[in-house]
Structure 1
Amino acid sequence: MKRTIRTAVLTAGALIAALGLPAGTAQADTPAPRTDLRVLVVSDGGPATAAIAAELASAGTPYTEIDLTRAGRPVVDAAFLADTVDGRPRAKYQAVVLPNDNPFPAGSSEMAALASYERTYGVPQVDAYTWARPAVGLQYFAAGGYGGSLDGVSASVTAAGRGGPFGYLDGAVPFEDNSPTVGESYAYLAAPAPGADFTTYVDAPIPGTPRRGALVGEYRHDGRRELVVTFVYNQYQQQFRLLARGIVEWMTGGVHLGASRNHFAVHVDDVFAADDRWDTVLNCTPGDVDCANGAGTPNPIRMTAADAAQAVDWQNRRGFTLDLAYNGAGSLDQREDNNGADPLADKLIADRGRFRWINHTYTHAYLGCEQDTSVVPWRCATNPGGSTKWVSRTAISDEIALNRVWGQTSGLPLENDELVTGEHSGTALLPQQPQDNPNLAPALADNGVAWLASDNSRDPEQRNVGQASTVARYPMNIFYNAGRAAEQVDEYNWIYTRRSQGGSGICEDHADTTTCLTAPLDTATGYAGHIVPQEIRTALGHVLSNDPKPHFIHQSNLAEERIAYPVLDGVLDAYGALFADNTPVVNLRMKDIGRELQRRAAWKDAVRTGQVTAYRIGDTVTVEAPSGLQVTASLPAGTRLGGSAFGSAYAGRVSGWTPSAGAPLAFTLPSDAPAATGALAAPEARAGQPAGAAAPAPVTDPAPRTHVPEAVREHRTGTSGD
């Protein structure tokens, strides 16, 4: 009977022998090794290691990357991997990611050096993508297994996976199948090799058989631990996004710098106002700037009291809070036209505590340059000398202040430092307005605005506008000027079909960002059959990518046929089917998202520039960082910082932000936390698999489908569509 013996830490004698030190140096008080909280990523330029590196970067987890394709790269040898600091042996990396189980050039001693390092310090190794065979603890895939496409297949997390690093998932791991003509995934499926110490974490059915084969599993051999992954992926594919957290948790033992959570927030713009309606005959929006010479008759879309009640009911049912960006003048106009009555405002104000509220300016005026709408597309008006005619500081301040007063008078629970301008105006808008309105920043400061919404499709990075910081929002491709599915599809066809198909040709003119439809969508079925699934997929991709940025729609989308709800329900339903209860979607308000983005940027810059040092010795994690920097980490439940519990629970771990005062932060891990260092007894060599044998290079497989850019934004003639 084979037994594998695991030790929590190296004894002094074993450590000295492993390091090749003279036996005479052995002392009873040899210090325990130090393990730096940094990951080594060895890349061959392929998508799998790039995906794992992207996951580490997104979470803010420090890593060092070696590109095997570059001349002059560092050599992976004993000195590169370990040294001594203050008389204490140091492992420079807590985990190693390789493109496969042995990617180094033939004749190189690097794999041997790496294997020795892993054995000495108990450092785990991730094989980002390799093929099934005994060298990785699996049977040959050709012997009753499978090698081929997994497009559309539903893989599963095993009981071992749910009880281990993938415990944040409910079980299903669906593989994408976005196109019937494009191969999007390739995998090898096989059972563990006879006698191999292999634990399967994720498996899938082997086509044509009742058996299942491993896709992700842990292989223990020769005193080492490998996470073997047998499917190819890129960083944008859903199957990787679902498993990325578990891969990082496995390789770090749940102890690492950085954190990752799944966020979803939805802003509803133009509340109390009315949105102009798309005209299916004129192919423009009467009342807006895209209809030349004021063509057509405006037919606005506005929520009713019944729609407001539906929004409350939906929130209660989903356990989700919407952010309502309101324009107070819209209610004033309604009351003036209806003998003082505005049932919508009455209902929303009565239920004001059920929502979060954001100042969206009083009249939704354009706050950039003054618009000359005598032409389509519009252009910036100019002064007699030819300079741009800007909306004044006073006019901008009035829009902010009047709406704030209206909201306060109505009892809305406002955060006065948040602002969404109409059409994100005031900030640069290409091609007409290539710079911010110079009067915008002073007006924001006059009104204490600290967080300003921007459009992620044109201004994605957080930046300063005077004293305010931007919060980029994802525009959902549910149009502001559509309250009914047929209108949405008609406009969608206009934007996304070629001129020869009756469309505008915008997709032909913007081929770098827009994909033309192969044929126009049926106005009766195209919304539910094409647009809704696409928008769910796009939004869910953001949610699964540790991306806190909010999405935005418009009040018109909650009116009439309420076409936004199928998309919002689809995102939340899909999320709920994938994740365990310990990993809820995080629903933050705008200023909290802004702070999160701000903290992340500062943290990543400090990590990138080497201002952060972190290491583990025994059950203590020490982090050294500049004073004032917010430090983030993911650690086992029960971790303490000083005399207090650290962080908040998420996905089976605790994580959060804590400020550095300049002195080292010492986190105490719970007694049952996995050991930081250790050696595994090396089992006997398997038949036909000598210990330490180099693995052959994986076969060349079809490349995974590359990322399709964000759902093409609203390329309307003359307006951003907000």
Structure 2
Amino acid sequence: MKRTIRTTALTVGALTAALGLQAGPAHADTAAPRIDLRVLVVSDGGPATDAIAAELDAAGTPYTKVDLTSATRPAVDAGFLADTVDGRPRARFQAVVLPDDNPFAAGSPEMAALAAYEQTYAIPQVDAYTYARPQAGLQVPTSGGYAGSIDGVQAQVTAAGKAGPFGYLAGAVPFEDNSPSVGESYAYLSTPAPGADFTPYVQAPIPGSSRQGSLVGEYRHDGRRELVVTFVYNQYQQQFRLLARGLVEWMTGGVRLGASRNYFAVHVDDVFAADDRWDTQLNCTPGDVDCTGGAGTPHPIRMTAADVDYATAWQSSRHFTFDLVYNGAGSADQREDNNGVDQLADKLIADRDRFRWINHTYTHAFLGCEQNTTVVPWTCETDADGSTKWVSRSTIDNEIAVNRVWGQVAGLPLDTHELVTGEHSGLRILPQQPADNPNLAPALRDNGVQWLAADNSRDPEQRQVGPAATVSRYPMNVFYNAGRASEEVDEYNWLYTGRAQGGSGICEDNPSTTTCLTAPLDTSTGYHDYITPLETRIALGHVLSGDPKPHFIHQSNLTEDRIAYPVLDGVIDGYDALFNDNTPLVNLRMKDIGTELRRRAAWTRAVAAGQVTAYRIGDTVTVQAPNGTDVTATLPTGTTLGGTAFGTPYAGEMSGWTASSGNALTFALPDSSSAPAAGAGTTRAATAPAPHTRIPAGVTEQVPYTPGG
């Protein structure tokens, strides 16, 4: 344990001279160094550095990780940090992330080497989570500051933060408080040390004081720049998700490989069809496979023409577009039963251009194995030799093709390359069907399907099924068989309470279930007081993580009590309250989501294989990647590629994908994006090791969301 604070005798200036490095923060353009677009992450195994690494992974930003707990790790010395390429000095990392402001032992030459490297090449350093102390530009917390929990605190981005790396945020940075019994956030709130060149970017009130204490701020000293973070976090917490973009923006100066945006898409399944209703007495759904022996009487739920008007008005007010996933047989059945009349279909078809449309097969048939539904759960039928009986290729083909033709005749603006099978059937589903229906891929090829929906809870990774790539969708706990809030709560209670409370016991059988209840919810208030805020937080968490995967609900949720809208409004309202207009929700259709996932996977493979080279020399960025691999980058506004403006705007920067032919891509940065100079200041001794900091249990192990958080 490093509790003794001592200063090293080796100064940064002495080390610079000893290493033979050029002094000064920047070179003239004619002798500008090469700065590789790669981040150095020095980790002590704590959640903060892991969170930053996860953000770099998600964005596609290359980094090298040095694990301080590994006996075989490389030494962070001059040769590791810099060298010469083609006669030009090269900085091998554009930024350095440390677990704190100095994680090394007293007198360590590694910290001195890092300090000299940062000073020489103007490389910024992020202190992922450090103690507030003068060595980090802050007063110690005992000097009028605070050390302790900040669960539930509402922090704020300062004017400097808004003008700088956190300009995409509206201002508020709420800290989670998911459990009253578990500490989830711990911070050191303090003010700048006397004489320190320190600029707070995010701060919160110091308890018992009228002053604000810094949580994130920039410390400029000794020709170096540090982003000092004095609260601990993990990669899942909302406060980190809000600030992650700004941390990366600051460390890279807005010039980096990789990109991140916030996505939200909602698929509405079973449009034109009717969904069976939950029976609150039988605790099953008559007409569906969970009610055996034909128990109960089905009472279907189906949208009305008035629900369509509500949906279009809602979309207009929220600047959002639903993806309607339709079954044409639902309308055909309705017309047959009502003398050729289907007011819902007539209204939807009249308003067809207000929505996006996806083929959901004609009758919503199950397209996997042939099901034995006389038992719960159902099983796959087998032949005499024990082999699985599969739904035939012709049946699958017919379901896809007939529904496509039905939609085309109705004039729906389809993309015929997209498909959502009923219940994601045809794909593997455990435990009953551990393999895809072998007839599925040929049928997809017959119909030109390139993008196939999958259930993220069962099939989270994109994979190839014949000619189609999967697009995993997040299921919402807004149930398909509930049109009224009371039905939703009754089923929720059944699923997530114990047997002694009248529930299914799923939580007793599977303790890892995160939605378990300690007591049944009130059926009159439980939906709006408990389920809505919980589902909102879960969906918003997906959005803030930059995950493009869509969420899915059902047409039954847009009628009767219209129970989907409170959750969707919660996500959009919550997002709008946190982000500026320059960082909008991105609402993509299914094929574009699939393309994004495919590009990310190919890029990640190329980076992991060491096939991507990228560096900056002055105002020029050069990137080389394998032929056929799209390159992703985030660069300043005004950047050009071959004389053409690069990217599209998002969060105050330009980002996007560029196809690579295998040859070098050369980006010209605007003059205003010249490499930042290191901070002014006299050379001092390298800082002493940082004290150990507290990490609460709710950061080391994520606390599940609860609506009261």
Matching of residues 162-201 of structure 1 within 5 Å = 162-201=162-201
Do the aligned partners of 1:424 and 1:455 also contact (CA within 8 Å) in 2?
yes
Letter in 2 for 1:491: E
| C-alpha spacing 1:197/1:514, structure 2 compared with 1 (3 Å) | closer
Do the aligned partners of 1:331 and 1:342 also contact (CA within 8 Å) in 2?
yes
Look up the match of 2:524. 524
Do the aligned partners of 1:219 and 1:228 also contact (CA within 8 Å) in 2?
yes
- What's the CA shift for 1:31? 2.6
- Please say if 1:487 is aligned against 2:487: yes
SS at structure 1 position matched to 2:530: helix
Look up the match of 1:249. 249
- Please say if 1:229 is aligned against 2:229: yes
Do the aligned partners of 1:205 and 1:213 also contact (CA within 8 Å) in 2?
yes
- What's the CA shift for 1:339? 1.0
| C-alpha spacing 1:144/1:396, structure 2 compared with 1 (3 Å) | same
Greater alpha carbon shift after TM alignment, 86-95 vs 695-704: 695-704
Aligned mates of 1:18, 1:638 — CA distance in 2? 40
| C-alpha spacing 1:299/1:196, structure 2 compared with 1 (3 Å) | same
Q: 1:696 aligns with which of 667, 690, 700?
A: 690
- What's the CA shift for 1:210? 1.3
1:505-524 CA-partner distances (Å, limit 9, x unpaired): 01111112344211111111
| C-alpha spacing 1:227/1:445, structure 2 compared with 1 (3 Å) | same
- What's the CA shift for 1:709? 6.7
Greater alpha carbon shift after TM alignment, 72-81 vs 509-518: 509-518
Matching of residues 280-429 of structure 1 within 5 Å = 280-429=280-429
- What's the CA shift for 1:16? 9.5
SS at structure 2 position matched to 1:682: coil
TM-score normalised according to structure 1 size: 0.93
SS at structure 2 position matched to 1:491: helix
Matching of residues 488-527 of structure 1 within 5 Å = 488-527=488-527
| C-alpha spacing 1:704/1:229, structure 2 compared with 1 (3 Å) | farther
Greater alpha carbon shift after TM alignment, 172-181 vs 54-63: 172-181
1:561-616 CA-partner distances (Å, limit 9, x unpaired): 00000000000000000000100000000000000000000001000100000000
Structure 1 unaligned spans of 5+ = 1-13, 686-690, 713-722
Do the aligned partners of 1:508 and 1:516 also contact (CA within 8 Å) in 2?
no
SS at structure 1 position matched to 2:31: coil
Do the aligned partners of 2:178 and 2:704 also contact (CA within 8 Å) in 1?
no
Aligned mates of 1:196, 1:514 — CA distance in 2? 46
Look up the match of 2:88. 88
C-alpha RMSD of the superposition:
1.9
Look up the match of 2:635. 635
- What's the CA shift for 1:143? 1.4
- What's the CA shift for 1:647? 0.2
Aligned mates of 1:18, 1:35 — CA distance in 2? 22
Do the aligned partners of 2:277 and 2:299 also contact (CA within 8 Å) in 1?
yes
Letter in 1 for 2:682: P
SS at structure 2 position matched to 1:490: helix
- What's the CA shift for 1:194? 1.1
Do the aligned partners of 1:241 and 1:545 also contact (CA within 8 Å) in 2?
yes
Aligned mates of 2:637, 2:682 — CA distance in 1? 32
Do the aligned partners of 1:170 and 1:580 also contact (CA within 8 Å) in 2?
yes
1:27-67 CA-partner distances (Å, limit 9, x unpaired): 99973210000000000000000000000000000000011
- What's the CA shift for 1:698? 2.8
- What's the CA shift for 1:663? 1.4
SS at structure 2 position matched to 1:533: helix
Letter in 1 for 2:702: H
Look up the match of 2:447. 447
- What's the CA shift for 1:386? 1.9
SS at structure 2 position matched to 1:444: helix
Greater alpha carbon shift after TM alignment, 319-328 vs 518-527: 518-527
Matching of residues 128-143 of structure 1 within 5 Å = 128-143=128-143
Letter in 1 for 2:280: T
SS at structure 1 position matched to 2:61: coil
- Please say if 1:681 is aligned against 2:680: yes
Matching of residues 98-113 of structure 1 within 5 Å = 98-113=98-113
| C-alpha spacing 1:167/1:522, structure 2 compared with 1 (3 Å) | same
Letter in 2 for 1:669: L
- What's the CA shift for 1:711? 9.9
Do the aligned partners of 1:260 and 1:546 also contact (CA within 8 Å) in 2?
yes
Look up the match of 2:470. 470
1:618-672 CA-partner distances (Å, limit 9, x unpaired): 0000001111110010000110001100000000000000111121100000000
Greater alpha carbon shift after TM alignment, 697-706 vs 353-362: 697-706
- What's the CA shift for 1:708? 5.2
- What's the CA shift for 1:272? 0.4
- Please say if 1:652 is aligned against 2:646: no
Letter in 2 for 1:81: L
Matching of residues 522-561 of structure 1 within 5 Å = 522-561=522-561
Matching of residues 34-183 of structure 1 within 5 Å = 34-183=34-183
Greater alpha carbon shift after TM alignment, 659-668 vs 579-588: 659-668
Look up the match of 1:7. none
Aligned mates of 1:467, 1:711 — CA distance in 2? 41
| C-alpha spacing 1:283/1:116, structure 2 compared with 1 (3 Å) | same
Letter in 2 for 1:682: G
Matching of residues 613-628 of structure 1 within 5 Å = 613-628=613-628
1:68-111 CA-partner distances (Å, limit 9, x unpaired): 01111000000000000000000000000000001113342110
Aligned mates of 2:214, 2:663 — CA distance in 1? 46
Do the aligned partners of 2:102 and 2:687 also contact (CA within 8 Å) in 1?
no
- Please say if 1:707 is aligned against 2:688: no
Do the aligned partners of 2:41 and 2:96 also contact (CA within 8 Å) in 1?
yes
Greater alpha carbon shift after TM alignment, 71-80 vs 374-383: 374-383
- What's the CA shift for 1:131? 1.3
Do the aligned partners of 2:619 and 2:674 also contact (CA within 8 Å) in 1?
no
Do the aligned partners of 2:420 and 2:453 also contact (CA within 8 Å) in 1?
yes
| C-alpha spacing 1:132/1:405, structure 2 compared with 1 (3 Å) | same
1:282-334 CA-partner distances (Å, limit 9, x unpaired): 00000000011110000110000001110001001100000000000000111
Matching of residues 12-23 of structure 1 within 5 Å = 20=20
Letter in 2 for 1:448: G
SS at structure 1 position matched to 2:416: coil
Do the aligned partners of 2:100 and 2:690 also contact (CA within 8 Å) in 1?
no
TM-score normalised according to structure 2 size: 0.95
SS at structure 1 position matched to 2:415: coil
Aligned mates of 1:301, 1:711 — CA distance in 2? 29
1:96-138 CA-partner distances (Å, limit 9, x unpaired): 0000001113342110010010000000000000111111111
Do the aligned partners of 1:135 and 1:695 also contact (CA within 8 Å) in 2?
no
Aligned mates of 2:78, 2:523 — CA distance in 1? 65
SS at structure 1 position matched to 2:358: strand
Aligned mates of 1:609, 1:324 — CA distance in 2? 40
> How many percent identity over aligned positions?
75
Look up the match of 2:258. 258
SS at structure 1 position matched to 2:404: helix
Do the aligned partners of 1:15 and 1:120 also contact (CA within 8 Å) in 2?
no
Do the aligned partners of 1:624 and 1:662 also contact (CA within 8 Å) in 2?
yes
SS at structure 2 position matched to 1:516: coil
| C-alpha spacing 1:155/1:345, structure 2 compared with 1 (3 Å) | same
Letter in 2 for 1:610: G
SS at structure 2 position matched to 1:415: strand
SS at structure 1 position matched to 2:698: coil
Look up the match of 1:8. none
SS at structure 2 position matched to 1:568: helix
Structure 2 unaligned spans of 5+ = 1-13
Look up the match of 2:3. none
